[in-house]
């Protein structure tokens, strides 16, 4: 429903705006500007506060079409399908780049346009496959090139400011040669998903509770009773049945964590955490990598809780596997008086370009950031999602938190809650991006022992990405359980359903600023699941097999039998509704369930070549 509406809407806008905007060089081949992308209005919650300074510099990223993404996708699905003879035969960096490099005539046309505006090759920064080009450009010139006017916008809730526009144009001769240019219409804020956890009061809590239908596993008797109230590394090892597994070939394996928004981890806190929970690891560390000036300030009180959580749990579970932490700059608030910012406010692109340029990329990467899908313009979301497919084809498993707002965005501001920003202000569930990208594994949250679904666990159905074939059966089975007519028009049943899997998401005991602290959110679930996947890769690598790579096809086809199906708990409330329930089989709150390492090892490592 909504997809059709959006397409129609875009078409109307294009027709409405298809006039040529007169430009200084009216005779130039670039004078014929036509609208490329346009929003009906700025997303709710943003207020126009004025013009940016004339000398303000914008870092524009220009996405050129990729010559052969469809073929790359075919390869990706073959090498990720456990029943295909090519399973596990990942592509090299060069092979992937061959598929996504832009057609040469597109490259030539864009180069000529940039040259006409005074840019030389040295001014351009290109992605490895040349499918993205970035330029630093004064706002006045950007406005001329894109036939638009940039403004400063303020986010009412946080006070963050951004320099953005609601519409931009391109010469009509370039429309077929440029997919997307940002930052233009992107108002996303890219939030870390860790939260200090507060249960709602008992009454509203029980109103969202549905008893599990599956008898709990006898194995849980071995789980320490303290795990019901505090999650430690040992709890995760017991709950997820690692059976004392010790990495066999750490030198062949790798794991990584991404940090954004000036988030980096504190090494002293990591040491305290290891003393508390992983004494063998106490002298170990990880490789810190700064992307575009990402910080790593080790003075007390400057590390972030999110980064500490992710690093402590992912690396604590996988010690002594070599670990990498990327700190990527690029965060609102955008300081309006900064004329040469090092950030682009567009961090996924910066990070993914950086990582795609590396010959060797960690086999498992967990990211605990996300935002409502509708705040990321669709064309840009697609390109970012396609970049994740490139990493999958190279054998990398990408895990993302599913979000902490249930079926909504958890916004505390009632007037903005769950409203579409397509001009209708209709109430609608808000799926999370990148969790809704079909080429990543989205991780939802659970709580308690035995595990039940937790009410904040982000889940639902993408409005941008259709349901991939690998989850057809599972998601269809779930949809049959939703009472007919319920939530009609609130979600897109034909969309990519998420999360795919789940892990504990409350009361993780971390160390932060020198002291122990309790933290939760699907931010905790993603690194926990990533830790288990890293151990599975170790088991595969020790047998001379390839790493798992893009996980979903194998998880939906076989791996589900090694997951603990979560069949009840607190529904993922949001948007003034009770949200969805955890059910037998897949559901949009805990996916297919939480890991049972020893079972998964048999299915995905020992019995899968």
Looking at the annotation, which residues are catalytic? 306, 310, 523
Distance CA 245, CA 320 (A): 12
Distance CA 443, CA 269 (A): 25
> Measuring CA to CA, which residue among 288, 574, 287, 303 is closest to residue 455?
574
What's the token pair of residue 92?
A: 């090299």
> Is residue 484 involved in binding ligand NAG (CB under 6 A)?
no
CB contact burial 199-232 (16+ within 10 A = b; e otherwise) = eeeeeeeeebebebeeeeeeeeeebeeebeeebb
How many residues bind ligand NAG, per CB under 6 A?
A: 20
Please say which residue, 27 or 484, places its beta carbon nearer to ligand NAG. 484
> Is residue 295 involved in binding ligand NAG (CB under 6 A)?
yes
Distance CA 22, CA 556 (A): 54
With tokens 């144009």, the residue in question is 169
Distance CA 518, CA 197 (A): 8
Q: Identify residues 410-449 at the interface with ligand NAG (CB under 6 A).
A: 423-425
Q: Which of 13, 14, 220, 482 binds ligand NAG (CB under 6 A)?
A: 482
What's the token pair of residue 176?
A: 């077929």
> Is residue 244 involved in binding ligand NAG (CB under 6 A)?
no
> Is residue 297 involved in binding ligand NAG (CB under 6 A)?
yes
Distance CA 536, CA 530 (A): 10
Please say which residue, 338 or 486, places its beta carbon nearer to ligand NAG. 486
Residues 6+ apart with CB under 8 A from 131: 63, 64, 65, 66, 100, 101, 102
> Is residue 283 involved in binding ligand NAG (CB under 6 A)?
yes
Three-class SS of 121-139: HHHCEECCCCCEEEEEEEH
> Is residue 154 involved in binding ligand NAG (CB under 6 A)?
no
Q: Taking the complex as a whole, how short is the minimal distance between the CB of residue 574 and ligand NAG, in angstroms? A: 12
Give the dihedral of Cα atoms 537, 540, 546, 551; nearest 10 deg: -50
Of the candidate spans 101-109, 222-230, 279-287, 498-506, the one that interacts with ligand NAG by CB under 6 A turns out to be 279-287
Three-state DSSP class for residue 121: helix
Q: Is 587 labelled a binding residue?
A: yes
Q: Taking the complex as a whole, how short is the minimal distance between the CB of residue 274 and ligand NAG, in angstroms? A: 9
Q: Identify residues 498-557 at the interface with ligand NAG (CB under 6 A).
A: none
Residue 402 contacts residue 432 (beta carbons within 8 Å)? yes
Three-state DSSP class for residue 38: strand
Distance CA 213, CA 446 (A): 16
> Measuring CA to CA, which residue among 129, 162, 131, 166 is closest to residue 147?
166
CB contact burial 167-194 (16+ within 10 A = b; e otherwise) = bbbbbbebeebbbbbbbbbbbbbbbbbb
Q: Taking the complex as a whole, how short is the minimal distance between the CB of residue 76 and ligand NAG, in angstroms? A: 33
Q: Which of 99, 461, 556, 580 binds ligand NAG (CB under 6 A)?
A: 580
Q: Which of 106, 148, 161, 581 binds ligand NAG (CB under 6 A)?
A: 581
Q: Is 566 labelled a binding residue?
A: yes
> Is residue 194 involved in binding ligand NAG (CB under 6 A)?
no
- What are the φ and ψ backbone dihedral angles of 297, each rounded to 5 degrees? -85, 115
Please say which residue, 419 or 601, places its beta carbon nearer to ligand NAG. 419
Q: Taking the complex as a whole, how short is the minimal distance between the CB of residue 437 and ligand NAG, in angstroms? A: 24
Please say which residue, 104 or 413, places its beta carbon nearer to ligand NAG. 413
Half-sphere CA count of 179, side-chain side, radius 13 A: 21
Q: Identify residues 553-572 at the interface with ligand NAG (CB under 6 A).
A: 571
- CB neighbours (10 Å) of residue 50? 11
> Is residue 18 involved in binding ligand NAG (CB under 6 A)?
no
Residue 472 contacts residue 437 (beta carbons within 8 Å)? no
What's the token pair of residue 454?
A: 């937790």
Residues 6+ apart with CB under 8 A from 93: 128, 356, 358, 359, 394
Please say which residue, 42 or 170, places its beta carbon nearer to ligand NAG. 42
Q: Which of 486, 514, 576, 607 binds ligand NAG (CB under 6 A)?
A: 486
Q: 202-221 mask for ligand NAG (x: CB under 6 A)?
A: --------x-----------
Distance CA 419, CA 185 (A): 18
User: Which alpha helices (H) appear in 240-304, and where do they start and end?
Assistant: 267-277
Q: Which of 47, 196, 280, 607 binds ligand NAG (CB under 6 A)?
A: 280
Q: Taking the complex as a whole, how short is the minimal distance between the CB of residue 419 and ligand NAG, in angstroms? A: 7
Q: Which of 24, 118, 483, 485 binds ligand NAG (CB under 6 A)?
A: 483
Q: Taking the complex as a whole, how short is the minimal distance between the CB of residue 280 and ligand NAG, in angstroms? A: 5
Please say which residue, 366 or 590, places its beta carbon nearer to ligand NAG. 590
Please say which residue, 113 or 580, places its beta carbon nearer to ligand NAG. 580
> Is residue 282 involved in binding ligand NAG (CB under 6 A)?
yes
Q: Taking the complex as a whole, how short is the minimal distance between the CB of residue 576 and ligand NAG, in angstroms? A: 14
Q: 26-65 mask for ligand NAG (x: CB under 6 A)?
A: ---------------x--x---------------------
Q: How far is CA 324 from the centre of its chain?
A: 18
Q: Identify residues 95-114 at the interface with ligand NAG (CB under 6 A).
A: none
Distance CA 262, CA 290 (A): 11
What's the token pair of residue 85?
A: 């003879």
Please say which residue, 41 or 413, places its beta carbon nearer to ligand NAG. 41
Q: Taking the complex as a whole, how short is the minimal distance between the CB of residue 338 and ligand NAG, in angstroms? A: 14
Please say which residue, 101 or 164, places its beta carbon nearer to ligand NAG. 164
Q: Taking the complex as a whole, how short is the minimal distance between the CB of residue 559 and ligand NAG, in angstroms? A: 25
Of the candidate spans 182-190, 221-229, 291-299, 469-477, the one that interacts with ligand NAG by CB under 6 A turns out to be 291-299
Please say which residue, 148 or 581, places its beta carbon nearer to ligand NAG. 581
Q: Is 350 labelled a binding residue?
A: no
Three-class SS of 439-480: CCEEEEEEECCCCEECCCCCCEEEEEEECCHHHHHHHHHHHC
> Is residue 299 involved in binding ligand NAG (CB under 6 A)?
yes
Q: Taking the complex as a whole, how short is the minimal distance between the CB of residue 297 and ligand NAG, in angstroms? A: 4
> Is residue 302 involved in binding ligand NAG (CB under 6 A)?
yes
In the annotated binding site for Ca(2+), the residues are: 565-566, 585, 587
Binding residues: 565-566, 585, 587
Q: Which residues bind ligand NAG (CB under 6 A)?
A: 41, 44, 210, 280, 282-283, 295, 297, 299, 302, 423-425, 481-483, 486, 571, 580-581
């Amino acid at each position: 429903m909504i997809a059709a509406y959006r397409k129609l809407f875009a078409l109307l806008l294009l027709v409405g705006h298809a006039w040529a905007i007169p430009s200084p060089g009216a005779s130039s081949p670039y004078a014929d500007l036509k609208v490329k992308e346009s929003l009906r209005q700025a997303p709710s919650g943003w207020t126009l506060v004025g013009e940016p300074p004339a000398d303000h510099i914008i870092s524009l990223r220009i996405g050129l079409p990729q010559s052969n993404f469809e073929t790359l996708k075919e390869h990706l699905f073959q090498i990720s399908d456990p029943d295909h003879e090519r399973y596990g035969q990942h592509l090299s960096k060069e092979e992937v780049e061959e598929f996504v490099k832009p057609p040469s005539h597109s490259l030539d046309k864009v180069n000529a346009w940039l040259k006409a505006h005074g840019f030389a090759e040295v001014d351009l920064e290109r992605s490895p496959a040349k499918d993205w080009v970035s330029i630093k450009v004064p706002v006045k010139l950007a406005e001329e090139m894109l036939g638009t006017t940039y403004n400063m916008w303020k986010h009412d809730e946080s006070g963050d400011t951004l320099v953005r526009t609601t519409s931009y144009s391109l010469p009509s001769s370039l429309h077929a040669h440029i997919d997307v240019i940002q930052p233009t219409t992107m108002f996303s804020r890219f939030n870390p998903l860790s939260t200090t956890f507060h249960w709602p009061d008992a009454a509203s809590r029980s109103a969202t509770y549905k008893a599990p239908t599956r008898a709990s596993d006898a194995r849980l008797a071995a789980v320490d009773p303290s795990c019901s109230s505090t999650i430690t590394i040992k709890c995760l090892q017991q709950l997820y049945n690692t059976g004392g597994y010790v990495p066999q070939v750490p030198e062949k394996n790798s794991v990584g964590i991404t940090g954004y928004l000036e988030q980096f981890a504190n090494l002293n806190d990591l040491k305290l955490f290891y003393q508390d929970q992983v004494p063998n690891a106490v002298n170990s560390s990880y490789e810190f990598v700064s992307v575009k000036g990402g910080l790593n300030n080790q003075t007390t009180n400057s590390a972030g809780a999110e980064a500490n959580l992710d690093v402590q749990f992912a690396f604590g579970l996988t010690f002594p596997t070599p670990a990498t932490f990327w700190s990527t700059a690029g965060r609102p608030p955008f300081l309006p008086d900064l004329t040469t910012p090092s950030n682009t406010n567009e961090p996924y692109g910066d990070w993914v370009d950086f990582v795609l340029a590396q010959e060797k990329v960690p086999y498992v990467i967990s990211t605990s950031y996300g935002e409502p899908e509708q705040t990321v313009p669709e064309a840009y979301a697609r390109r970012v999602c396609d970049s994740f497919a490139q990493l999958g084809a190279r054998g990398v498993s990408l895990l993302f938190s599913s979000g902490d707002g249930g079926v909504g965005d958890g916004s505390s501001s009632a007037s903005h809650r769950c409203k579409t920003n397509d001009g209708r202000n209709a109430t609608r569930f808000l799926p999370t991006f990148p969790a809704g990208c079909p080429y990543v594994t989205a991780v939802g949250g659970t709580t308690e022992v035995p595990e039940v679904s937790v009410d904040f666990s982000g889940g639902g159905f993408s409005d941008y990405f259709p349901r991939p074939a690998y989850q057809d059966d599972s998601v269809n089975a779930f949809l049959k359980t939703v009472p007919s007519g319920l939530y009609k028009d609130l979600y897109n049943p034909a969309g990519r359903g998420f999360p795919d899997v789940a892990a504990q998401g409350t009361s993780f005991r971390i160390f932060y600023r020198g002291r122990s602290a309790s933290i939760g959110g699907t931010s905790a679930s993603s690194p926990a699941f990533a830790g288990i996947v890293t151990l599975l890769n170790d088991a595969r690598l020790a047998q001379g097999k390839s790493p798992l790579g893009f996980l979903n096809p194998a998880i939906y086809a076989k791996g589900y039998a090694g997951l603990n199906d979560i069949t009840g708990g607190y529904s993922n409330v949001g948007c003034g509704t009770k949200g969805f329930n955890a059910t037998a089989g897949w559901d949009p709150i805990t996916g297919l369930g939480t890991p049972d390492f020893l079972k998964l090892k048999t299915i995905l490592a020992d019995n899968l070549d």
